[in-house]
Amino acid sequence: MRAGLAADRARDAAAGGARQGAHRTDLRMVLLPKEIPAELCSTGEQKALLVAIVLAQAALVRERRGFAPLLLLDEVAAHLDPARREALFSALAELPAQCFLTGTELPPFEPLRGLAEAFLAKPGGLVPAADFPVPKAV
């Protein structure tokens, strides 16, 4: 891919865009336990597959660079069942990486109580969630 991008650089510059690259690639995945294509999986299963890709990429970056990237995971707990949420939170703890997780409600993040800080979006900014105690070592 790298050689192809280099070979097409002049043509891409003249055209104002790349003819090849990740933006022109389809990623096909299979949920191995069920042996079904991702497009036939439930929303939660699809989300779990996507999160697995993000975590694998973060682990690869950590291995190659010596530190994990900052992760910004928007609505990451939505559509994940409790077991998958627990697996996600465990994987994030093992990475380790600085993570910002967003959600519209606190209950899905209960397993992180005492391990992470929680904030609520209020008019004028973010405020600490009163019922989500600050961990001793953040």
In the predicted structure, residue 137 carries a pLDDT above the cut 80: no
For residues 81 and 43, the answer to whether their CB atoms sit within 8 Å is no
36-54 pLDDT, tens digit each: 999 999 998 999 999 999 9
Instruction: Grade residue 138 by pLDDT with cuts at 50, 70 and 90.
Output: low
Tens of pLDDT, residue by residue over 51-101, are 999 999 999 999 999 998 999 999 999 999 999 999 999 999 888 889 999
Please enumerate in sequence order all residues whose Cβ is within 8 A of that of 102, keeping only pairs 6 or more positions apart, or say none.
Answer: 73, 74, 75, 76
Tokens of 45: 């299963």
Report the alpha-carbon distance of residue 25 to residue 18 in Å, rounded.
12
pTM of this structure = 0.74
